[in-house]
Amino acid sequence: GQSLEQPSEVTAVEGAIVQINCTYQTSGFYGLSWYQQHDGGAPTFLSYNALDGLEETGRFSSFLSRSDSYGYLLLQELQMKDSASYFCAVRTGANNLFFGTGTRLTVIP
Protein backbone atom coordinates (compact mmCIF):
# COMPACT_ATOMS: atom_id res chain seq x y z
CA GLY A 1 0.00 0.00 0.00
CA GLN A 2 0.89 3.65 -0.11
CA SER A 3 1.37 5.90 2.88
CA LEU A 4 2.55 9.46 3.16
CA GLU A 5 2.77 11.10 6.56
CA GLN A 6 2.86 14.77 7.41
CA PRO A 7 2.20 16.72 10.60
CA SER A 8 -1.46 17.64 10.75
CA GLU A 9 -0.97 21.22 11.92
CA VAL A 10 1.79 23.78 12.14
CA THR A 11 1.64 27.34 13.48
CA ALA A 12 4.32 29.93 12.79
CA VAL A 13 4.82 33.66 13.12
CA GLU A 14 4.75 36.05 10.19
CA GLY A 15 8.27 36.58 8.84
CA ALA A 16 9.57 33.32 10.28
CA ILE A 17 10.71 30.12 8.59
CA VAL A 18 8.77 26.87 8.76
CA GLN A 19 9.57 23.35 7.60
CA ILE A 20 6.89 20.80 6.77
CA ASN A 21 8.15 17.22 6.70
CA CYS A 22 6.86 14.31 4.66
CA THR A 23 7.81 10.66 4.97
CA TYR A 24 6.56 8.19 2.47
CA GLN A 25 6.29 4.49 1.86
CA THR A 26 5.14 3.66 -1.64
CA SER A 27 5.41 0.95 -4.24
CA GLY A 28 7.24 2.81 -6.95
CA PHE A 29 8.70 6.29 -6.77
CA TYR A 30 9.21 8.79 -9.55
CA GLY A 31 9.31 11.96 -7.49
CA LEU A 32 7.85 14.05 -4.68
CA SER A 33 5.59 17.03 -5.29
CA TRP A 34 4.21 19.72 -3.02
CA TYR A 35 0.85 21.42 -3.42
CA GLN A 36 -0.78 24.33 -1.64
CA GLN A 37 -4.51 24.46 -1.08
CA HIS A 38 -6.46 27.34 0.42
CA ASP A 39 -9.83 26.61 2.01
CA GLY A 40 -12.42 25.89 -0.65
CA GLY A 41 -9.89 26.15 -3.44
CA ALA A 42 -8.04 23.84 -5.76
CA PRO A 43 -4.54 22.55 -5.06
CA THR A 44 -1.83 24.53 -6.78
CA PHE A 45 1.53 23.07 -7.69
CA LEU A 46 4.53 24.33 -5.75
CA SER A 47 7.48 22.07 -6.53
CA TYR A 48 8.69 18.69 -7.71
CA ASN A 49 11.81 16.76 -6.69
CA ALA A 50 12.89 13.70 -8.64
CA LEU A 51 16.46 13.66 -7.40
CA ASP A 52 18.05 14.10 -3.98
CA GLY A 53 18.75 17.62 -2.94
CA LEU A 54 17.22 21.02 -2.50
CA GLU A 55 15.14 22.88 -5.08
CA GLU A 56 14.55 26.57 -4.49
CA THR A 57 11.74 28.64 -5.95
CA GLY A 58 11.52 32.06 -4.41
CA ARG A 59 10.49 31.87 -0.77
CA PHE A 60 9.74 28.17 -1.07
CA SER A 61 12.29 25.35 -1.16
CA SER A 62 11.77 21.62 -1.31
CA PHE A 63 14.16 18.87 -0.31
CA LEU A 64 14.26 15.16 -1.07
CA SER A 65 16.26 12.25 0.28
CA ARG A 66 15.30 9.11 -1.61
CA SER A 67 17.40 6.86 0.61
CA ASP A 68 15.47 8.08 3.65
CA SER A 69 12.08 8.21 1.89
CA TYR A 70 11.82 11.74 3.24
CA GLY A 71 11.28 15.21 2.01
CA TYR A 72 10.34 18.61 3.29
CA LEU A 73 8.94 21.93 2.18
CA LEU A 74 10.62 25.02 3.56
CA LEU A 75 8.77 28.31 3.60
CA GLN A 76 10.75 31.44 4.36
CA GLU A 77 9.67 34.99 5.20
CA LEU A 78 6.22 33.74 6.04
CA GLN A 79 3.29 35.90 5.03
CA MET A 80 -0.29 35.78 6.25
CA LYS A 81 -1.39 34.60 2.80
CA ASP A 82 0.72 31.47 3.26
CA SER A 83 -1.90 30.16 5.70
CA ALA A 84 -3.22 27.13 3.84
CA SER A 85 -2.98 23.36 3.71
CA TYR A 86 0.14 21.87 2.20
CA PHE A 87 0.19 18.40 0.70
CA CYS A 88 3.11 16.26 -0.32
CA ALA A 89 2.38 13.83 -3.11
CA VAL A 90 4.35 10.95 -4.53
CA ARG A 91 4.28 10.12 -8.19
CA THR A 92 4.34 6.34 -8.24
CA GLY A 93 3.87 5.94 -11.97
CA ALA A 94 3.34 7.91 -15.14
CA ASN A 95 -0.21 8.70 -14.16
CA ASN A 96 -0.35 7.97 -10.46
CA LEU A 97 -0.09 10.75 -7.89
CA PHE A 98 -0.86 9.91 -4.28
CA PHE A 99 -1.37 12.65 -1.75
CA GLY A 100 -0.26 12.87 1.86
CA THR A 101 -2.59 13.67 4.70
CA GLY A 102 -1.93 17.38 4.48
CA THR A 103 -0.51 19.94 6.90
CA ARG A 104 -2.57 22.92 7.89
CA LEU A 105 -0.28 25.92 8.29
CA THR A 106 -1.49 28.86 10.29
CA VAL A 107 0.56 32.05 10.13
CA ILE A 108 0.00 34.40 13.03
CA PRO A 109 0.99 38.07 13.31
Partner 1 sequence: GAVVSQHPSWVICKSGTSVKIECRSLDFQATTMFWYRQFPKQSLMLMATSNEGSKATYEQGVEKDKFLINHASLTLSTLTVTSAHPEDSSFYICSARVPGPNEQFFGPGTRLTVL
Binding site for partner 1 (CB under 8 A): 30-31, 33, 35, 40-45, 48, 50, 87, 91, 95-102, 104
Complex with partner 1: residue 1 or 109, whichever CB lies closer: 1
Contact 24, 88 (CB under 8 A): yes
45 HSE (CA, 13 A, CB side): 7
Complex with partner 1: residue 15 or 93, whichever CB lies closer: 93
Complex with partner 1: residue 75 or 103, whichever CB lies closer: 103
What residues have CB less than 8 Å from 45, skipping those under 6 apart? Answer: 33, 34, 35
